Amino acid sequence: MQPISDDMSVLLRPLSAHGRGRRLAPFAFATVAGLGIVLIDGTGDGRELAARLGAVSLAAVLTVAVVVVPWSRIPARFEVVPGFGILAVVGLVVTGSGAQSAYAPLIMLPLLWFAVYANRLSLGLAIASADAFLLADVLGSRGQLDPGAVRASLLWTAVVTVVPWTLHRFVSDLQHRAALADRDYVTELLSRRAWEERLPEEITRARRDANPLSIALFDLDQFKQYNDLHGHQAGDALLRQVAIAWGERLRSTDLLARFGGDEYCAALPGCSADDAYSRAARLLESTPTAVGASAGIAEWEDGETMESLVRRADQALYEAKSAGGGAIVVARRHAA
């Protein structure tokens, strides 16, 4: 398996629950532009022109909604609603003008968004809807059909069925590979690189929501002696045991990673230093008896950089280790 570059890994990482809605914006803008060309075309009677104007207006409203809606406050399952709205607008225009018209390619725009950002169920429903729009004239006709229109409908049906599914599978495979690159191969926790990529996101969220954020750095006590006595395989097994024991006692919103060697790190959103101290104490209590652990805790302060936050936690961990291990030390406040 070829390695994925750092930039590509970040790009392809699966989005958070509320990361997809706003990604529709470029596709929606392109749809409005394409429908605008339909309006400028100017052919047809007054009723057709009014229908085109309505389509452009509705697409524009949906595009504005995509941009201004606070997606983080809305259940993630509703993020596909604007996508289906854009698809419906384009589908009606294509149905009215015919699959062999110059406007049929517009139906691919919302489908590409579904292929890249939506789940398989939503993509399947979107493709089925697009096929229905493209085949409407063929399925609804009771008279003699234009062979050219039939061929165009069947051709576009094949394209909108195969291309989005193929793209979806390709993106899913790349996302899976990127997710594997984010994992530590011994403990299956987040890797240090992944943790350092996501910690700035937690800091941004803490600043935006005015919520506390603490981090904790852990170091296993007596691990070197255990590793030397029992061998590296036993040492790796112990590292996995620690990861499992600690992971079971953290929330789904916490980030636990292997920092390197026998060191671990955790980001604890919504936790003050006191809260983090209590959580760290529970983790230390659940540490396998073969070793102990020490912890250094730092609470993020407004305006502080990630590097400063980690440095304070690391200094606190050093003090805990210097005290003989098995201790938890809270870092001093950040000097602005």
Q: What distance in Å separates the CA atoms of residue 181 and residue 194, rounded to the nearest whole number?
A: 9
Cβ atoms of 293 and 221 closer than 8 Å? yes
Return the CATH class of domain 192-330. Answer: alpha beta
SS3 10: helix
**CA proximity to 182, closest of 257, 283, 264, 234:** 257
Cβ atoms of 59 and 83 closer than 8 Å? no
Both tokens assigned to 259 = 């920092």
Burial 306-322 (b: 16+ CB within 10 A, else e): eeebbebbbbbbebbbe
**CA proximity to 93, closest of 58, 128, 122, 124:** 58
Is the pLDDT at 5 greater than 50? The verdict is no
Q: What is the pLDDT of residue 141?
A: 59
Task: Mention every residue, 6+ apart, whose C-beta is less than 8 A from residue 35.
Answer: 52, 55, 56, 59, 89, 90, 93, 106
**If you average pLDDT over residues 151-157, what whole number do you get?**
90
Is the pLDDT at 153 greater than 80? The verdict is yes
Q: Would you tell me how many other CB atoms lie within 10 Å of the CB of residue 49?
A: 15
Q: What distance in Å separates the CA atoms of residue 136 and residue 156, rounded to the nearest whole number?
A: 12
Q: What is the pLDDT of residue 301?
A: 94
Q: What is the pLDDT of residue 283?
A: 95
Cα 199 → chain centroid: 15
Start-end of CATH 3.30.70.270 domains in the chain = 192-330
Is the pLDDT at 322 greater than 70? The verdict is yes
Q: What is the pLDDT of residue 217?
A: 97
Residue type at 325? G
Summarize pLDDT for 226-252 with one digit per residue, the tens: 999 999 899 999 999 999 999 999 998
Is the pLDDT at 55 greater than 80? The verdict is yes
Among 45-54, 86-95, 214-223, where is mean pLDDT lowest? 45-54
Both tokens assigned to 213 = 């954020």
Q: What distance in Å separates the CA atoms of residue 150 and residue 70, rounded to the nearest whole number?
A: 43
SS3 210: coil
Is the pLDDT at 13 greater than 90? The verdict is no
Is the pLDDT at 9 greater than 60? The verdict is no
How high is the mean pLDDT of the chain? 86
**If you average pLDDT over residues 288-294, what whole number do you get?**
90
Q: Given pLDDT bands bounded at 50, 70 and 90, which one contains residue 336?
A: low
**If you average pLDDT over residues 134-142, what whole number do you get?**
72
Q: What is the pLDDT of residue 333?
A: 83
Is the pLDDT at 46 greater than 80? The verdict is no
| Region for 98 from its dihedrals, namely left if φ exceeds 0, alpha if ψ lies in -120 to 50, beta otherwise | left
